[in-house]
Amino acid sequence: MKTILAIHTGGTISMSQNQNGEVVPNDENPLAKEQVILKGQINLITDNLFNLPSPHITPQIMLALKQRILQAIEKGVDGVVITHGTDTLEETAYFLDLTLPNTIPVVLTGAMRSSNEIGSDGLYNFQNAISVAATPESYGKGVLVAMNDEIHTARFVTKTHTTNVDTFRTPTFGPIGIVTQHKAKYFQELIRTDVCEIDHVISGVYLLKAYAGMDGDLFSALDNKKTHGIVIEGLGAGNLPPQTIPAIQQLLRHQIPIVLVSRCYNGVAQKIYDYAGGGIQLEKMGLILCQGLNGQKARIKLLVALSSQKKGTDLRHFVSNAVS
């Protein structure tokens, strides 16, 4: 019999509609007492660790979640399922993917419809996530996200629709598997996963999005001692308006690492264009091109790297490497 720890953190999956049709948190998580489908095969342990809407989740809470999972691993659980609000689910999932040892399956799930809505997807996704965590083939695949019968990697999955139950997608690469007949079936996997050990998280890591006519004002506003790192969602393959360059150069002179990704839904940041503000010039200036991650994931990766206690960590290699 598999022992699975279910950690509930809040979010829509634990909420209900009130009489006015507004979705609000419950005092008690309606999933906490649910019995799973695989009776006799699953020993489910429940921990109502948090009861927070996902916009209330912080890196400090992600770290507490990581520490709770490490305790469970030490006690010999076979897998962990985490229910989470969908707005920041991908960020928590990737934080855990970067900081947990790749040993037992860790699976995040959530819901787009609250527990008492018609067509609520919470219980279904929860039971599917338990099935994924209990499947032997789920070992060694990094942190996973199970939603709407699909299995995605924490590294590349993202929320793509504000309300649709099919919101979680993996641009460019697609899901790595599906859930069928209460079991995970995989068709591809990541090349490699790396772990970056941290015992705290720093503040002052920011995310900016480029736009037509952008100047250096936002960058200048971040040029202070509280800023430890910046991620920019650049235009196209990774380009910026030339008016931003002087302020960015000043940030680099102050030893503030700047990571560049693309604001595009598909594709990766690349050094293709050699003009003022083009990707080639930006890399020569010292920006770190991060391939394959969106802005919020790149920010989590930079935050983890800067919070790492590991001496001699090559920040540029770790953040830019698309396979870790």
User: Which positions are catalytic?
Assistant: 12
Q: Which two tokens stand for residue 238?
A: 């990774």
**Alpha carbon distance 197, 201 (integer Å):** 11
Interacting residues of 94 by C-beta distance below 8 A, sequence separation 6+: 143, 154, 155, 297, 300, 301
Residue 133 backbone class (left: φ over 0; alpha: ψ -120 to 50; beta: rest)? alpha
**Alpha carbon distance 166, 169 (integer Å):** 8
For the chain, helix (H) and strand (E) counts, in that order, are 8, 16
Rounded to 5°, the CA angle 274-276-280 comes to 35
**Alpha carbon distance 241, 217 (integer Å):** 12
In the chain, the N- to C-terminal Cα span, in Å, equals 33
Rg (alpha carbons) of the chain, rounded to whole number: 20
Give me the residue label for tokens 């990704």. 261
Q: Which amino acid is at 307?
A: S
**Alpha carbon distance 179, 148 (integer Å):** 9
Q: Centre a 10 Å sphere on the Cβ of residue 200 and count the other Cβ atoms it contains.
A: 10
**Alpha carbon distance 44, 39 (integer Å):** 10
